[in-house]
Every structure is written in structure tokens, then in C-alpha cells.
Structure 1
Amino acid sequence: MIYQSPAAGAVPLASANPTTAATPLSTTPRHVIPADQLGEAIVGFRSRDQRSRPFNLLRTQIARLVGEGVRVIGITSATPQVGKTFVASNLAASLARLPEMQTVLVDLDLRRGSVAERFNIPVQQGVTEYLAGEVDDLSTIAWGVEGERLTLYPTAEARVHSSELLASARLQGLIASMRAIPGQAVVLCDLPPVFANDDSMIVSELIDGYIMVVEDGVTTAKQVRDSRRLLGSVRCFGTVLNRYIKGFAGGDYGYGYGKGSGYSDYYN
């Protein structure tokens, strides 16, 4: 896994509602996952595991952005099945190990959300239900990991009409509540692939910027360029090369989620 940052630029002003009028997003989980029930692919909590090293390196870059005033970061990709949720989940886990850092991971991939699956969360209601108006209290869908400073907001039921939910005032309020978290905090939003639909374009207008996950030997330079063009002037904080075949110290940090475009699976 390799992280590449583009040329530095000014952090855009938040386009969501002012945080002064928002209730802070809860970082006190209502539900807790036992640490021994985490999926094997969650390595970001294991500081002595060499597989966590790439995420610790990326964590340092994100911590610098937070120090510059960045609060809400999207994790996306051009196409499905390149490991964006794997990267988002482990980066969140790694960030949660930093002292005094409040870390939140929100699953905004409403059609194919998989944060709950990655963390083995038996979720029944989540972000989708909140955006649809079926849940009013966000704290009721907040999950945590035993002994860790990480708060998770997973999705539950997949929704075909995800764009309408993401274009609602409820999402704007959710983003505003992310910005209202007191103290040093970072919120990672697992976004849909850019080419899958217009969901990422809708959300990207409300956040500070995004990280693009690409797969070694699969994602093309044209796909990256076209994705950045579709996301317009939203700041790209960098790209993460996943499943890099040479890895670090000769290792392979990929987790074979399957080859192919994945579009048929995404829409089914």
C-alpha cells in the first residue's frame, strides 16, 4: 500500500450548516463490539502487526491534515471492489490509537455498505434508516469497539434510491454534526465508488476532501483522472495504492476481494 499526496492546497470552507447550530455527533457508542469478534481483515488496531504499518504511515498524514483544520474526509474509489472499505476501516482503527483523537467512521455507501460486515456488527438500523427518517436519534445507531476510541455508524438495509437520501437535508445536518464534535476529531466517510452513481459527487460537496483508493494493476490512470474530474473542485488529499504486489519489506498487504469491475454486484 502506497500513499501519494497531490500538491498542497487550501482547505475549502465547509459548505454544510454552521457547527454552532448543530448538535455534536455522539462519540459515545450505544453498542459495543467485543474486540475478539473483529474480522481478520481489521489490522489497524494491532500496532505490532506489520500489516498495520501502511495504515500507521497514512495515519500520520491524516493527523497533519486534522491539525490544519480538516475534519471530514471521504474515502472513495473509481470502481467497486478495490478495497476502499478495507482501507477506510483500518485507517479509522489506526487513527483511533492516537491519544486524544476522537475517530469516527460513517458508512455512506448506502447501496453496498460493508463497514458492518468488516467489523462483524449485527446491525439492524443504521445511517440509511436515519436519512430515511425512520430513526431520529443518531446515538442509537452508534457502535464502538471494546477498549478502543473508535465510533462506528454503519449502514443496515441497502437502498436503491440512495441519491435521494444523500441529497436530503438530513445528510447536511449529519455532516454539520460531524463538524460540531468538540476537541480533536476526525470523521472518515466511506463513500460509494465514483463511477457507480452520483452519490459520491453529492456527498463530496459537503466534506473537506477525499482520499482515492486505487488497486495496483487494475485501476487505470484514466479512471483516476476521470474520477477527480467528476468530483470537481473538491480537494483530493491523495491516493492510496492498495494490493501493491511488492508491498513493504517484500510483503503483500492486499486482501483479495476479487477481480473484475464489480458493477453487477454493486447494482444487484
Structure 2
Amino acid sequence: MKNRGTDEVDETITYSETRVVKLDTRHLEAHRIITFDSEDPDSVAFDILRTQVLAKMEENDWRTLAITSPTPDCGKTVVSLNLALSIAKQTEKTALVADFDLRKPRISSYLGLPPGPTLFDYLENDVELKDVFVNPGIPRFVILPNTTPIRNAAETLTSRKIKSLVSDLRERYESRITIFDLPPLMASDDAIAFIPQVDCVLLVVASGETTHAEVKESRRQLQSTNLIGVVLNKSADSHTAYY
């Protein structure tokens, strides 16, 4: 993977009423966020994943995608961010990533976002949604961040305010793909409580770590959803494989 020192991602675009920040490429690479650089050979696997996921979503007019895993540390957040970046960088669609892992939010730390209003403030402190969105200096890429763990996460994810938010994110822009980074399935009931609100689901498993029993149980839990694929992460041959 290339190391570009202290360089920052230098593509910027101003979204109406959206906070714009710049990202440090060294920080991104340290957290395995690589698709900001289309010349990085490791990003090819995510571009392939993007093509396969979008084909399935466009076929069904789906715009909202949940990404989860059987257990922690499978790399679901890394997949969420790299997939969204690939969509934003190489298509005409806008990609929005929402940190809905309410108990252990990680997207802000993975991207190195500066402090600011978050999903918690929108839910608990009546901060306006427009003040929460962040554009990390990359065209067509938007983040709905969170940094504060939220108690009663399952109840929050099924609340009227969240349902209204999800509906608005889906319907406001036809060209937007919204990705929800969810908690692991076996860590709590949060993901299963929320998933009925989205169009489809992607399951991330870790090569050499996730067991066959965990995959089987995850697929059982997701049997009533539109499970569009399983991503094998941390494989020796490439970073991701889709099946």
C-alpha cells in the first residue's frame, strides 16, 4: 500500500449546508481505508464489490444497504467505508454512510473526523440533521457520524425518529446509496431490530476467524431479509471476496 506522507485528500466539494473536512491519507491507510486512491491496487477488490452490489440494488430499485457481521472484528466498518468511497469516486451516485453501531461507533475514528455534532446530538439534543452531516472532502461522499455510545440501542434503532430519518435518507435523493454500518448480529439484537427498515443486507465474515456455525446462524437470522451477498474479509489472496 502506498504511503503518501502527510498529504491530505485534496478533492473538495461544498455540499449545501454540509460541514466539509479534509482527511489525512496516512490516517486512512492506517485504518485500512484505501479506496480514496483509485490507483491503489488493493482497492480493486472493493471496486468489484461495488459493481456487484450496485447491480443487485439497481435491479430492484434499492437505495438502502445495511452492513453487518456475525461477531466483532470482522471488518464490517472497513468494508462499509471502502464500498461507499468506491461508489462515490467511480459512479455518478452519492454515497452516504451512517454510523448505526450505536453501542460502539467507529466511523469517526477510522476517518479521523474532528469533533462536531453527531447522530447522538440529533437524537438526544435536537440538533438539526444538516448540522450533523459531514463531507470528508471527497465529491459525492457524505458521513452521518456518531461518537457517543447510545444506551437502549435496539429501542433507539426502532424509534419513530430513526424510522423517519431512514425514510428521508432513502427518498430525498434517487441517486443516493445509503449504507448503514450496523452492530454485529451476535453481539446484541440491535441489528436484527433495525434491518427491516432497509432494502437489503450485506454480511461481512472474517477469513480464518468466523466459524461455519456463526455464518449459518447469521444466515438464519437474516433469512427473512434481502441478503444480497457475503463478503469474505481478511483473506490471504485479497482484502475481500464476494459470494
- TM-score norm. by structure 1 comes to 0.78
| Whole-angstrom distance in 1 between the partners of 2:191 and 2:67 | 10
Moved over 4 A (4+): none
Structure 2 counterparts to residues 121-160 of structure 1, below 5 A: 121-132=113-124, 134-160=125-151
Q: CA deviation at 1:128?
A: 2.6
1:87 aligns with 2:79: yes
Structure 2 counterparts to residues 4-23 of structure 1, below 5 A: none
Amino-acid identity (%) = 31
| Whole-angstrom distance in 1 between the partners of 2:194 and 2:43 | 28
1:30 aligns with 2:18: yes
Q: Alignment partner of 1:205: what SS?
A: helix
Contact 1:80 1:196 (C-alpha < 8 Å) held by counterparts: yes
Number of positions where the alignment pairs a residue of Structure 1 with one of Structure 2: 222
| Whole-angstrom distance in 1 between the partners of 2:64 and 2:16 | 18
CA 1:43–1:29 in 2, change beyond 3 Å: closer, same or farther? farther
Query: What is the match of residue 119 of structure 1?
Result: 111
| Whole-angstrom distance in 1 between the partners of 2:111 and 2:21 | 8
Structure 1, unaligned runs of 5 or more = 1-26, 248-252, 255-268
Amino acid of the structure 2 residue aligned with 1:30: T
Contact 2:68 2:185 (C-alpha < 8 Å) held by counterparts: yes
Report the structure, 1 or 2, having the larger helix content: 2
Query: What is the match of residue 185 of structure 1?
Result: 176
| Whole-angstrom distance in 2 between the partners of 1:124 and 1:137 | 12
CA deviations over 1:109-162 (Å, ceiling 9, x no partner): 001110101111123431233233x13411110001214210000112112321
Q: CA deviation at 1:227?
A: 1.4
Aligned residue among 18, 39, 47 for 2:28 = 39
CA 1:48–1:82 in 2, change beyond 3 Å: closer, same or farther? same
1:194 aligns with 2:179: no
CA RMSD, Structure 1 to Structure 2 (Å)? 1.7
Q: CA deviation at 1:231?
A: 3.0
| Whole-angstrom distance in 1 between the partners of 2:176 and 2:135 | 15
| Whole-angstrom distance in 2 between the partners of 1:236 and 1:66 | 11
CA deviations over 1:62-114 (Å, ceiling 9, x no partner): 22133220110001000001111011011111110134211100010001110
1:71 aligns with 2:63: yes
| Whole-angstrom distance in 2 between the partners of 1:130 and 1:35 | 24
- TM-score norm. by structure 2 comes to 0.86
| Whole-angstrom distance in 2 between the partners of 1:72 and 1:54 | 21
1:101 aligns with 2:89: no
Contact 2:24 2:112 (C-alpha < 8 Å) held by counterparts: no
Contact 2:23 2:111 (C-alpha < 8 Å) held by counterparts: no
Amino acid of the structure 1 residue aligned with 2:20: V
Query: What is the match of residue 6 of structure 1?
Result: none
Structure 2, unaligned runs of 5 or more = 1-14
| Whole-angstrom distance in 2 between the partners of 1:71 and 1:102 | 11
Contact 1:103 1:151 (C-alpha < 8 Å) held by counterparts: yes
